[in-house]
Amino acid sequence: MIEIERKEIEKAILVGVSKGMNTRRVTEEHLEELELLADTAGAETVIKFFQDRDSYDPAYFIGKGKAEEILEYAKENNINLVIFDDDLNPTQLRNLEKLFERKILDRSALILDIFASHAKTKESKTQVELAQLQYMLPRLTRAWTHLSKQLGGIGTKGPGETQIETDRRIIRTRISKLKDTLKKIEAQHITKSAGRQDLINVSLVGYTNAGKSTLLNRLTGADVLAEDKLFATLDSTTRSFDLDKNKKILLSDTVGFIRKLPHHLVASFKTTLNVVREADLILHVIDVSNEFYEEHIEVVEETLKSLGCETKPQIKVFNKIDLLEDKQKLEFISQRYNDSVFVSSMRGFGINSLIERINDFYEKNYIVHTIHLKQSQGKLISVIYELADILESVYDEDSIIIKYRTNKEMHNKILSMLQN
């Protein structure tokens, strides 16, 4: 995985463009989030530059005059890092690096760097490195540091091959190896999840820093890292949760979503996000205290759609109600999203109401059934043990009474086998 070494906090300039329907206030909010991202990555924002444009400049993203103004400020204040709030294409990146002779990052590069520093497990490290390399491949420039030591001699290079072509070949080979590694990890996930067929899977999703990990801890008593930071959670975490004595579910938390999330990152995190695809129920956690919560909802819904999960049953959970001073706003939201739940994961408010909603879903989708069988029906008994959660089994001479719990699909499959 590619990580940037930092000996001290870097000073940064942030650049945003108001284009089309985006108002200056929206652009300002986007840059406020970019500042949080920069802070998470270890950079101190010194100043933010804005520009209103009808379209992005094909050569410099911003106008060349604005770029020269930013460069002058960077020189006067000894700032060597400039971060753009939107993705730069290879041409724009190359031109800006040539003009500034400073480190130029766009939003995707910054997010990828944060993911690289937060990745702890082999899975997340592999996923992040894959996303980084796929992002960097079309953007190799003269500033690129070689991925491996180039050895001279026969057979080490193609005729007339440039260093950048060599680097591209190395990257493509590495990408191929990383994809193979992720396929193996995904196969392991499938094997593990096969044993969870008899339990309801509930997945927590939400905009980054919405409080998903805190909610997981509140419901399950887990001790998952829950920081007031962007992308504190990268790896999926699954914990069991007892709704009551005979009702158990699996609750999973995973990486938070964010606007303008790099496409390669979503694609490479496919194995981690499989917990969302496998979910029977999605809890969409929303920070109700955030001024732009509606945009955050849209971002999450769009990401769920890209994962093919837009039709899954969902409960919107508006979190951090203890931070909301305007109670009229709460009333407005409850009327607009009338099937939602309002909680404070930190303080515990509304948690019982959320549990009741999950329990209602459980009752509608899971069945508890008692069946009488002969002990000679060993094959059918073993199938029931495989497809259902056995709550009780009583043996009597040549018969057995089994009380089981399973979803409707598995229950119908068992009844079908009984009739044959």
Q: For residue range 159-197, what is the model confidence (pLDDT) as tens digits? A: 444 677 778 888 899 999 998 988 888 777 665 555 545
How much is the average pLDDT of 286-310?
92
Q: What is the dihedral of CA 208, 211, 214, 216, to 10 degrees?
A: -80
Superfamily of domain 10-114: GTPase HflX, N-terminal domain (3.40.50.11060)
Alpha carbon 142 to chain centroid distance?
32
- Average pLDDT of the residues in 46-70: 94
Helical spans, DSSP H, in 77-162 = 90-100, 107-118, 122-136
Higher-confidence residue: 353 or 416?
Answer: 353
3-state helix, strand, coil in the chain (%, to 5): 45, 25, 30
pTM of the model: 0.75
For the chain, the C-alpha Rg in angstroms (whole number) is 26
Q: How far apart are CA 335 and CA 71, in angstroms?
A: 49
Least confident interval from 267-281, 322-336, 377-391, 405-419: 267-281
Tokens of residue 26, six digits? 């929206």
Question: What's the per-residue H, E or C state across 314-359?
Answer: EEEEEECHHHCCCHHHHHHHHHHCCCCEECECCCCECHHHHHHHHH
Dist. CA 234–CA 253, nearest whole Å? 9
Considering the domain 366-419 in this protein, what is its CATH number? 3.30.70
DSSP state of 138: G
The span from the CA of 279 to the CA of 275, in Å, is 6
Task: Report residue 92: phi and psi, to 5°.
Answer: -60, -45
Q: What's the confidence (pLDDT) of residue 3?
A: 52
Q: Which of 9-18, 275-284, 334-343, 360-369 has the lowest mean pLDDT?
A: 360-369
The first and second tokens of residue 53, run together, are: 């444009």
Question: Is 144 a residue whose pLDDT tops 50?
Answer: no
At the fourth CATH level, the homologous superfamily of domain 197-363 is: P-loop containing nucleotide triphosphate hydrolases (3.40.50.300)
At 235, the pLDDT band (50, 70, 90 cuts) reads low
> What 8-state DSSP symbol labels residue 207?
B
Tokens of 244: 């009551």
Query: Mean pLDDT score of the chain, rounded to an integer?
Result: 83
